[in-house]
Structure 1
Amino acid sequence: MTVTVPTEAARRAAAAGLIDGRPLEPGQSRRVSLERLTAAVATRGPRLTPGAVAAHACNRRLAANARRRAQQTAAADRIRTQLERAATGLPRHVRELIGPEAVFGRLRTQGWITRILNAPDPSALLGQALQVAAQLPSPGQRVDRRLLVPGNPHALDAGALPALVLALTGSSRIPARSGWARLGVDFDDLLGGLIITGITPRDWRIPPGAAYTLPPRELTRIDWEPPDGPDRWVFVTENPSVLAAAASQALSLTRNSLVTPRVICTAGTPSQLECEAVAALSDAGWNLAVRADFDQAGLAHVRALLAAAPVAIAWRMSTADYLAAAPQGADTLHLQDADAPWDEQLVPVMRKHSVPVYEEDLLTALLADIAAGTPGT
C-alpha cells in the first residue's frame, strides 16, 4: 500500500517507527509492505493489525459480520444442546420421531432455526414445543388437540407453536390436519370437511338441491348411498364457487322437478381423511372426476385425490384445457416434471406460459359437464 506522511506533527508522532527506511518529510509517500506493517503495528499490541487501527480511527466495529455469524452459530448450538437433552426424557415413540441430529438438520433445512432464534424467547418456544411432543399418543391411540397443552385449549390453534411441533415431528410438509392425524391427534373433527350437493351418506335424508357440509367426524367411517344407475359421475372440485354456480344453474334450468348436480367441494387442498372419503365413492359404485386450479397447489391436490382413488380421472386438467384459458403471464410457477402424471405435456406448457389458471376461468365448460352428468373430453 502507499502511505503518505501526515503534515501534522501529532499524527507523525503517532506513526513513528511504523515505516521502514529513512525518515520522510511531511507530504512524502512510500510504498509499504502490509506484512511488514502488520508486524510493526503488532509491537504496539499483540492483537493489533492495520485493519484494527483503521477501524478504530474511523469509529467502526471490526469484523461485525464474523461476530454476528459466531453469535448465530453459538445460538444454534444451544438449540442443538436443548434438543439433545430433551430427547432423553421423551417417550420412546416420540424419540423415534425426534432424533436430535436428524431433527436439527430438518429444522435447519426448513428455516426453523432462524425462526426459533427470532422468537422473543427461543428457549421457551422450543421447550414448549417439546413438551407438546411429549404428550403425543402412543401408536393406535388418539387424543384431542385441545388437550395437548393443559389449561390452554387454544394454544395449538395457530401461530409458531403448532407449526414447530409439526416441524419437529416431520409432519410439516403436508396439510396441518393430515399432519396432526399422522401423529394420532384429532385436529378438529367438527370444523372443515367436504361441501356436498347431490349425493348423501347411506340412509341420510337431505332436501333436493341442498348443499351441506360433512365434517371430519362424519367422514371417518363414511358409507355412501350407491348410485341409482350405471355410469353415474360425481364431480370433485377445489373451489366453492364451482359448486355454488352448479347449484344455481340447476335451480334456474328446472321448473317442475329439481335435477341436483352431484358435486363435492374440498374448499382447498384435501386432507388424507377427505381424500379417503372421496375414494370411498368409487367403492360405492360412483365414477369420479377430480380437478383443481392449474397451479402448484392445485396439481398437488389432484395428485392426492388420484393417489387415494386410482380409478378417478383428472377432469379437464389437460394441456388443452390449460391452453384454452391461459393468458401469457409473468408469474413464476415452481413445478417439477412429475407434478402432473396424468398429462406429461402439461408441466412444460405451464412453465412456458408462466401463469396459473383457476377453475373460475373454465367455469362455463365445467358447468356444462356437471349439467350433462359426464366429464368432457
Structure 2
Amino acid sequence: MNCSLCDGACDGADLAPLLSPELAWLWQALAAVADRRGDESLTSGPAMTVTVPAEPAQRAAAAGLIDGRPLEPGQNRRVSLEKLAAAVATRGPRLTPGAVAAHACDRRLAAKARRRALQTAASDRIRTQLEKSAADLPRHVRELVGPETAFTRLRTLGWITRLLNTPAPADLLGQALQVAARLPPLGRRIDRRLLVPGNPHALDAGVLPALVLALTGSSGTPARSGWARLGVDCDDLLGGLILTGITPRGWRIPPDATYTLPPRELARIDWEPPETSGAWVFVTENPSVLAAVSTRALAQESLAPPRVICTAGTPSQKECEAIGALSGTGWNIAVRADFDQAGLGHMRAVLAAAPAAVAWRMGAADYLAAVTEGTDILQLQDEDAPWDEYLVAVMRKHSVPVYEEDLLPALLSDISTGTPASRRATELPRGQKSASP
C-alpha cells in the first residue's frame, strides 16, 4: 500500500489505539515539530518538548508513550524521539512517530521542506543538463552559455522557477539549447526563422525565444535588440517609429499625417532637413502622447504642425540610431520617457545614439512636480540618469513611477510652441536639495 500521508509507513500497522481522541494533543505537537524541522518520520534527533494536558484521560493515554516519572498537568516534558519511535513500532514494523502524527492530523507533514527538496533536486537536474550540453555547443556559443554562468543567470532572472513550472522543463531547456547551438559566430548573421528547422515562427513570441535570450545574456532589452546582439535578424517590417511632422528625404507625406517607419526603412534613413534652422523634434515613449498631440493639432488648425516621434516603448538600437541621424540634417532633438526603470533605460539608449539630444522634462524637478504617493518600489542605480545628478535620488526617495501622461499638459504646450522647456538639475523646489547624493 502506498499511503498518501506517510508513503506506506502505516502498511500492516494497528493504528487505532494510537489515534484515540485522547492522544490528539501529542500528535499535533509532534506534527508541528515535523513541519519545523522538515523531518517527516521523527525517529531521531533532539528531544521535543510538550506541555502535559490537564485532562486525566489525555495524560493516561500518553503514559505508555512518554516514559519516566508520572505526567503532571501543565508540566513541560522532554520526549525522546528514539524511545517514542520504539513505542509506536510495536504497532507496525514500519510505523514512525511522524507517520502516526500525519494520520492523526490527516495531512502530509513537512510539506514546505519536501517542496524545497524537490525544487533543489529539479534545479540540480537543470544544472546537470547545462553541463552535459555545453560540451556539444560550438565554441562561440559556449562563451555565451557556459554552464555555471548560464545557470546563475537563469536563477538570477527567475528562470529556474519559471522552467520548473512548465510541463516539461528538460524538453524546453533542450529546445533552447538547440536554438543557441545554431547561433552564428561573430561577424555572421542568420535569419531568426531558420533557427528552428521546419518551424519558421517558433521564435516569434512565447517562452522559448525568451528563454534563449535569457540563456545567452541577451534579455532585459527589446527582443529585436537582443536578437541583433546575437547576430540574428528578425523581420524588418513590423515595429519601428511612429511619426508626425517629419519625413525621410524625398517622401511626400501630408503635414498632419501620422505614420509608421518600419525597421527596413530606418536602416537606410535619410531625413528631410528642417525648413528653419534650429527646429526641434520631440521624441516621446508613449503612443498616448502622440495621439493627444495629433488630436490637438487637428482641432487647432492655426497651430504649426507638430514634429513628434513615438518609440512605442523602449527603442531598438536601429531606432535609436535613426533618431540620432536627425542631428546630421540640422534637427534639434528633445527626448523623454516615463520616470521608471524602463524609461530611464530608454533615455540612456537614445542619448547614447544621439549625443546632441537633450533630456526633455526629465529632471528631478519635473519628477517632483508630478509625483504622487504610492507603494511601488523603484530599483535604481546611481548612474541610471546621467543627464540629471538629482533625479535618481529623488526617485528613490519617493519610489513611485511618474508616467508621461502625468505631464501631458506641459508636454503638449512645449510641442505646440516648438521649443522644449527644461529646468536645470539644480532648480529643485525649496527643501529638495537634501535629496541629492
Of 212, 236, 244, which residue of structure 2 is paired with 1:165?
212
Shift of 1:70: 1.9
Structure 2 counterpart of 1:270: 315
1:266-305 mapped onto 2 (5 Å cutoff): 266-305=311-350
Count of aligned pairs between the two proteins? 367
Relative distance call for 1:42 and 1:221 in structure 2 (3 A) is: farther
Shift of 1:93: 1.4
SS at match of 1:120: coil
Relative distance call for 1:238 and 1:339 in structure 2 (3 A) is: same
Q: Distance in 2 between matches of 1:316 and 1:246?
A: 16
Structure 2 counterpart of 1:371: 416
Gaps of 5+ in 1: none
Between 1:138-147 and 1:98-107, the stretch displaced more is: 138-147
Relative distance call for 1:55 and 1:253 in structure 2 (3 A) is: closer
Shift of 1:94: 1.1
Shift of 1:295: 2.7
Q: Distance in 1 between matches of 2:74 and 2:293?
A: 86
* 1:359 matched to 2:404: yes
Shift of 1:225: 2.5
Of 244, 247, 252, which residue of structure 1 is paired with 2:294?
247
Q: Distance in 2 between matches of 1:142 and 1:346?
A: 40
Relative distance call for 1:58 and 1:241 in structure 2 (3 A) is: closer
1:191-230 mapped onto 2 (5 Å cutoff): 191-230=238-277
Shift of 1:149: 1.6
Q: Distance in 2 between matches of 1:28 and 1:358?
A: 65
Identity among equivalent positions (%) equals: 70
Between 1:122-131 and 1:296-305, the stretch displaced more is: 296-305
Structure 2 counterpart of 1:78: 125
Q: Distance in 1 between matches of 2:209 and 2:174?
A: 13
Q: Distance in 2 between matches of 1:12 and 1:244?
A: 77
Q: Which amino acid aligns with 1:139?
A: L
Q: Distance in 1 between matches of 2:267 and 2:411?
A: 29
Alpha-carbon contact 1:335-1:347 (below 8 Å) kept: no
Alpha-carbon contact 2:88-2:97 (below 8 Å) kept: no
Gaps of 5+ in 2: 1-49, 423-437
Of 359, 372, 380, which residue of structure 2 is paired with 1:314?
359
Q: Distance in 2 between matches of 1:31 and 1:343?
A: 64
Q: Distance in 1 between matches of 2:203 and 2:188?
A: 19
TM-score, scaled to structure 2: 0.75
Q: Distance in 2 between matches of 1:59 and 1:83?
A: 40
Structure 2 counterpart of 1:95: 142
Q: Distance in 1 between matches of 2:127 and 2:416?
A: 58
Instruction: Give per-residue Cα distances to partners, 1:121-155, cap 9 Å, x unaligned.
Output: 11111111111111212222222222222222222
Q: Distance in 2 between matches of 1:251 and 1:109?
A: 49
Between 1:361-370 and 1:306-315, the stretch displaced more is: 361-370
SS at match of 2:176: helix
Q: Distance in 2 between matches of 1:333 and 1:39?
A: 52
Relative distance call for 1:44 and 1:303 in structure 2 (3 A) is: same
Of 220, 235, 239, which residue of structure 2 is paired with 1:188?
235
Relative distance call for 1:44 and 1:203 in structure 2 (3 A) is: same
1:127-166 mapped onto 2 (5 Å cutoff): 127-166=174-213
Q: Distance in 2 between matches of 1:48 and 1:63?
A: 17
Shift of 1:33: 3.8
* 1:114 matched to 2:161: yes
Alpha-carbon contact 1:38-1:49 (below 8 Å) kept: no
Shift of 1:266: 0.5
Shift of 1:353: 4.5
Shift of 1:160: 1.1
Instruction: Give per-residue Cα distances to partners, 1:293-320, cap 9 Å, x unaligned.
Output: 2333222222221122222111112233
Q: Distance in 1 between matches of 2:190 and 2:222?
A: 18
SS at match of 2:275: coil
Q: Which amino acid aligns with 1:307?
A: A
Q: Distance in 2 between matches of 1:340 and 1:30?
A: 64
Between 1:99-108 and 1:296-305, the stretch displaced more is: 296-305
Q: Distance in 2 between matches of 1:362 and 1:31?
A: 66
Instruction: Give per-residue Cα distances to partners, 1:186-206, cap 9 Å, x unaligned.
Output: 233100000112222233332
Shift of 1:31: 6.7
Alpha-carbon contact 1:233-1:374 (below 8 Å) kept: yes
Shift of 1:246: 2.9
Alpha-carbon contact 2:240-2:262 (below 8 Å) kept: yes
Alpha-carbon contact 1:75-1:117 (below 8 Å) kept: yes
Relative distance call for 1:374 and 1:44 in structure 2 (3 A) is: closer
Relative distance call for 1:67 and 1:247 in structure 2 (3 A) is: closer
Q: Distance in 2 between matches of 1:104 and 1:73?
A: 13
Q: Distance in 2 between matches of 1:32 and 1:372?
A: 83
TM-score, scaled to structure 1: 0.85
